Amino acid sequence: MTVLRHLIVCSVVLWHTRSVCGITSSLSKIRQLVLAEEAIIPIVKGYCDKAEQQVLTLKRDPKTSVYEINYEQSRLNWLQNIYKNIVLRVVGQTTEERLSDIYHPTSAVCTIKFYVTEFFQPLSKLLNFKDVTKLKATVELPQEEDLNEAYLSLVRLQAVYNFSSVDLYHGRVMNRSGHKLNIYDAVQIVNLVPDQHLEIGLTWIDVALTEEQTDNNSLLQFNLFRAASEIYFRAHRFEDGVKYLEKIALMNPNHQMVLDLLKLKNSYIDEEIMFPSDDAGPEYVQSCTQSTMVLGNKWYHVCRYQKHFLPYVLYKEEILHWQPYISVFYDVINDETIKTLKNHSVKKLAKSLTVGSGTRGVFGRTSSNTFLDDSANLLFLLLSQKIGELTHLNTHQNTEGISSAEAYQVVNYGIGGEYRPHVDASPDLVLNAIEELQQSGDRIATFLIYLSNVEYGGATVFPYLRIKMPPTKTFFPNALTPLYWLLN
């Protein structure tokens, strides 16, 4: 997790957790879901008991039709199956083991998939509206959109870190094993992959077609061949596309999908292939994967002590670039402030939007965030004052009028979460600002504080300067280095 403080001064806090609807974009919410699993069991058991009592009541009534009894018995069987699955999941692993799963990309995807396909979707069809509402009030459950975002998170990881589809399918990420995916997962990834990552989608269809040789499920085969035909047409590999189109035509010649794929083929066949390139550019990927903070020996990369208003208090500053000014401060925030920031924000997190995006999330930002004013806690006010001393900028917040600084923006990234290359300063901040930013105007600086570490990745990069700042441990046991940059 990170915190950002945008100083118009602008400061922001980012909270990166180990590792993109709301569950996928926040690993803390997946963690809350896992911690709530034991509380879910008695709720589902209550549904089963209620359904079982209903079946017994119907059987005792001679006026009840066989159809009614069979319907309620079928509903009971479904509920009992859901109950069995959640019990097996919880009893089969300790809480610590289930929590460790969510820090592995494919295991996190499988956790979300379980609650979408094996828990919430079937349960919502079996319960009345009142019971569904009560369940959702007890725990925030992932939706189908979350699962789709989880699949796309794997594609994002591949695009940056060049993970192979074969390794991800088998749950292998950087010599660590996680839950293995299945053909259904691979097909969904192929269906969702955007044009700029079409090459990654083609590797996933290769994996799925290879694994399909061991599966005789005709419905799965139909969906797989349909996905193969479509992505091959998108890639202008028409011969391969027609091959799988013929396969599904043999399986079900009257299916609407056969006609749709023929139309898709015809729409591509006369067009020159023009797939959009990754809008982040090669510098972004190169910066994310470089091994040093500053690429090469830069003359402006220096360290110094930053004076405080108290002469005996000095802060360590590492300057990464002079123009624009980018630097790192060490030992600025303590563990108590970090814990307080997290505790105040965790229940308020919502899917991040970008300025001007209205009510819809965007592909370029996969996270959850919230805003915290200085007035929320004395520690926040003290931290703002410290940031002002370090940056020599006015960090005063005014909730009633024009403010020199925005509220703290606390951000939590989920599976494969990222914020694509962007600029913090923008006229849209004035023209289309969300409610929390309406009093602040445009930005002149950003102060970013990491609130937790990551095993791999999690860096903030400046692609054109080839600067990479990962979360780095400091003197305080749980604190990490703040990053500061001017926006001129």
Rounded Cα gap, residues 468 and 482, in angstroms: 13
Quick one: how far is CA 335 from the chain centroid?
25
Shared domain check, 13 and 64: no
Flag whether 468 is in a domain.
yes
Shared domain check, 88 and 39: yes
Rounded Cα gap, residues 397 and 400, in angstroms: 9
Q: Give the tokens for residue 409.
A: 């923006």
For 55-74, how does the pLDDT look when each residue is reduced to its tens digit (9 = 90+)? 999 999 988 899 999 999 99
For 297-351, how does the pLDDT look when each residue is reduced to its tens digit (9 = 90+)? 555 678 888 776 667 778 888 888 888 888 888 888 888 998 999 899 888 887 7
Q: What is the pLDDT of residue 28?
A: 78
Flag whether 106 is in a domain.
yes
Shared domain check, 95 and 19: no
For residue 116, give its domain range.
Answer: 31-135
Tell me which of 135, 159, 194 is where a domain ends: 135
Shared domain check, 410 and 304: yes
Residue 228 has pLDDT above 50, yes or no: yes
pTM, 2 dp: 0.81
Rounded Cα gap, residues 98 and 441, in angstroms: 44
Q: Name the average pLDDT for the chain.
A: 80
Shared domain check, 57 and 15: no
Flag whether 147 is in a domain.
no
Shared domain check, 425 and 338: yes
Residue 173 has pLDDT above 60, yes or no: yes
Tell me which of 135, 164, 192 is where a domain ends: 135
Residue 21 has pLDDT above 50, yes or no: no
Shared domain check, 54 and 122: yes
Flag whether 216 is in a domain.
no
Shared domain check, 349 and 466: yes
Q: Give the tokens for residue 373.
A: 């004013």
Q: What is the pLDDT of residue 441?
A: 64
Flag whether 363 is in a domain.
yes
Judge residue 376's burial from the number of C-beta atoms within 10 Å of its C-beta, 0-12 exposed, 13-18 middle, 19 or more buried: middle
CATH number at residue 407: 2.60.120.620
Rounded percentage of the chain residues whose pLDDT exceeds 90: 27
Shared domain check, 443 and 381: yes
Rounded Cα gap, residues 293 and 462, in angstroms: 10
Lowest-confidence segment of 42-56, 279-293, 295-309 by average pLDDT: 295-309
Neighbours of 7 (CB within 10 A): 27
Judge residue 73's burial from the number of C-beta atoms within 10 Å of its C-beta, 0-12 exposed, 13-18 middle, 19 or more buried: middle
Greatest mean pLDDT among 228-242, 339-353, 448-462 lies in: 228-242
Rounded Cα gap, residues 79 and 75, in angstroms: 6
Tell me which of 91, 115, 135 is where a domain ends: 135
Flag whether 342 is in a domain.
yes
Q: Give the tokens for residue 217.
A: 């499920």
Shared domain check, 369 and 450: yes
Shared domain check, 90 and 16: no
Q: Say which residues have a Cβ less than 8 Å from residue 328's Cβ, sequence separation at least 6.
A: 317, 318, 320, 469, 472, 481, 482, 483, 484
Flag whether 318 is in a domain.
yes
Flag whether 179 is in a domain.
no
For 149-169, how does the pLDDT look when each residue is reduced to its tens digit (9 = 90+)? 899 999 989 988 899 999 999
The number of distinct structural domains making up the chain is: 2
Shared domain check, 326 and 295: yes
Q: What is the pLDDT of residue 191?
A: 95
3-state helix, strand, coil in the chain (%, to 5): 50, 15, 35
User: Three-state SS across 346-358?
Assistant: HHHCEECCCCCCC
Q: What is the pLDDT of residue 6?
A: 44
